[in-house]
Each structure stands twice: as C-alpha cells, then as structure tokens.
Amino acid sequence: MKNIAMLFPGQGAQYSGMGKQLFSRYELVKEMFNAASDVLETNMEDLCFEAPADVLNSTENTQPALVLCSVAAYRVFQQETGLQPVVMAGHSIGEISALICAEAIGFEDGLRLARGRGQAMANCSQTGDTGMAAVLKLDRSYVEEVCNTIPGYQKDFVIANYNSAAQLVLSGRLDALEKVKAALKETDATYIPLRVSGAFHSPLMAPASDQFFDLVQGIKLDSPKIPVVANVNAKPYDKVNQIATLLTKQISQPVLWQESMQRLVSGEFEAIKLASDRIDLFIESGPGVVLKKLTSVLFADAKSYSLDHEDDEKPLKQQLEIDMRTLQYQPAFLGKCMAVAVSTRNNNFDNTSYQENVIEPYQKLKEMHELCTTEERKADDKEMKLGLHLLSQILTSKGAEQIELQQRFREIASVTGQTQLMEEYLS
C-alpha cells in the first residue's frame, strides 16, 4: 500500500465556484453543504458558487468555506477509494481541515472554529494599515538578513510563511513592508503584495489569538486518528491538549511549511508509521493547486496531485488503482493473522506451553474470525487489536526472533492496509 500524505490548502486558494463539481456529483457533499449552511447560518452554496469575489475573500467567509470544500473533497476521496493517508498537514486554516479529517475535531465544531478564527483575524485587520507580501527568488537567509536591518522586525513585521527555500511571505505594518520592498529593489527578488487585509501569522494578531483560544475551549477535542503535522513546530500532534494551544499560537506565529514537509519526508517522526521508507504520494485536498505546486518545488521527484485539478484525476487514479484493488480483495484481517500463525515455524516443544500459548490463542482467533464471517462484517478496531495481541503471543511462544516478528507484522500491515492500527508492532 502506498504511503499517502494528505495536504489541505490555506487562505488564497479560494475561488468562486469551488466545490461546485463535487456538489453536483455527490449526495454526501450536498449533505455537508446543507449542514454547514445550518451551522454557520449562511447559504454556503451561494457563498462558494455565486458570491462576488469581495464577499468570498472576506476572511470570516473564506476560512469556513475553505474548510467545508477541503473536508468534502477528502470525504469523497475516502468514499471512492477506501484508502487512508499515513499523515496529514494543512497550511494555516488548512490545519483545521486536517484535524477534522483526522477525527480530532468534529465537522460542525471545525466549521465554528473556522468562522470564529476568521472573524477574530478580521477584527484585527480593520485599521487598514497592515498586510502581507510574498518574496520570491531569494534565499531565506538573505531575506532574514535584510529584515534584521529594518527597525521593527519581529514586532511590526515578520516572515510569516516559510513555504520553500525561495518563497517566503512577509506580514506586518504596510510602512515596514514598504521598507523591505525598497531594500530588496536592487536584487532579483519578486515582491508580490497579497490580497489580504491583515498581518496574519504575526504578533499583530495577538488579540485574535486570545479570542480564538476562548472559542476553542468550548470545543470537544480528541487525539488525531491519523498523525497531523502542526504549522508552528513542524511536528505531529502527540497530545490532545496540544490542539488548542498550537492552533492558537499559529494565528500569531509563522507557518513552518518547508520544515514540516522536509521533516515529514525524512521519516524522523515516530508517530508516522510507513509501510515503506518514503512518502509515495502527496495529495492536495481542497480548492486549487497551491500545495501541489509547492510540493513539486520542495521535492523535484515528488508525485503530487490535486483532487481539485481535472487533469490529475486520471493519473492519480492510475497511481491508486493497485491499492484500491488490493483493498477490495484484501484478506480478512483476522484470517491473515491466522495464516501467519499457522505458517510460522515452531521451535517450542513444551506441550503445556504450546497448548496454553499457541493452541488456545489460535482458537480464540478462529472464533473471532468465524463470528465476523457469520455476521458478514469486517473486524472492528478492538477485535483487530485483540487479534494482534493473540498473534504476538503465538509467535513469541513458537520462538520467533524479533526480526521475524517485524517481518510478519509488516506483511500483515502491507496486505491489509492497517499500518496505523499496528504502529506499536511495527516500531
């Protein structure tokens, strides 16, 4: 099974008509739009499909609209493929989309957070003297060196997004940004003012952070079922109480996107269990192709696709075809555990021990498998975890060495697609 990293876009990816194709094709998406309209007391069809650009681009509208369309795209992907990514990451507001899809935040609560976040950030932007600008074609260290020569750096303006080695975003007071622009005038840099009204991901957003923190206290949060890499520290969330803290900090601190992606690819995160030694596919779930393109900039050999890009539909399907077919015809999880138990060589010739630690656990495995077969269903997580425990007992009692245990469990993960559930057995 391929290792998939699912990426969720941030503000700037929105466009009029986003989500419309999915809405017209899938009842699931219509239901999500209806639910979102009720929760937000806003007609989300009109906002996403028909609203003038200035209405859609208002931060308090953009953020929940992006979350809605991004989560809808992911759920259609799940419905159509049955596949699950090994890791997720979202750029800025996209991190809330990722946490919803990882089941750490409920869909409706996530929409409320997105609307509240957008409103709080918009309230910090009403003076009209702040903004953001992209700086392209210059090395990060050089831009930081220039910024350090300008009064107010880290207070009145900051580098807010570290997107790639040669793509940074500045955020802060417009007069300070103009000074940076002037200082870069003699270089080959491309300086592009962004269509936002506030200094997002800068200390000037501190009041918005405070408002958001109060809001998130009333939301039920759970540990992500799929690892989600946070923007502010480029690490996966490892505790549920980190969610409120890191999402709050993100509003007034830089987005470490380049570092997040590089560390993700390096395989250094223990929380992310890979079936092989690399990320095979990067898939952008949501409007546009911003993160798809950025991934290609960061990793020249990366296979990156967007669920919103029509030209990607066929090649992505080809990439996933074998995994989808494997999933469709994969052996029952408990049945595979039984097969591994039977095929592992026995080195235990103590009859009493063999009866207690091989025969009896195997009989329990068989009973569980037969129950699932009779009820025409797959084993649930609790049953699969018990099956793994019984199999581990059997293999250990048979005298299997650690390297063989690792190989056997990796074999099960590969053919059943249950890498996340088996992470303690794969480490």
Residues classed as catalytic: 92, 201
Q: What span, in angstroms and rounded, lies between the C-alpha atoms of 192 and 159?
A: 14
- CB-based contacts of 46, cutoff 8 Å, min separation 6: none
Amino acid identity for residue 230 in this structure: A
204-237 b/e (C-beta count within 10 Å ≥ 16 → b): bbeebbebbbebbeebebeebebbbbbbbbbbbb
Q: What span, in angstroms and rounded, lies between the C-alpha atoms of 308 and 313?
A: 8
Helix 206-216 × helix 242-252 angle, to 10°: 160
Please answer whether residues 202 and 158 qualify as being in contact, where contact means their C-beta atoms are separated by less than 8 angstroms. Answer: yes
DSSP SS3 for 306: strand
Please answer whether residues 88 and 226 qualify as being in contact, where contact means their C-beta atoms are separated by less than 8 angstroms. Answer: yes
Query: CA torsion, points 117, 118, 121, 127, in degrees to nearest 10?
Result: -160
Match 């630690």 to its residue by tokens.
357
Strand order in the sheet with 281-284: 228-229, 87-90, 4-8, 281-284, 304-306
Quick one: which of 263, 280, 328, 334 has its CA closest to 81? 328
Q: How far is CA 69 from the centre of its chain?
A: 14
Please answer whether residues 96 and 114 qualify as being in contact, where contact means their C-beta atoms are separated by less than 8 angstroms. Answer: yes
Q: What span, in angstroms and rounded, lies between the C-alpha atoms of 427 and 424?
A: 6
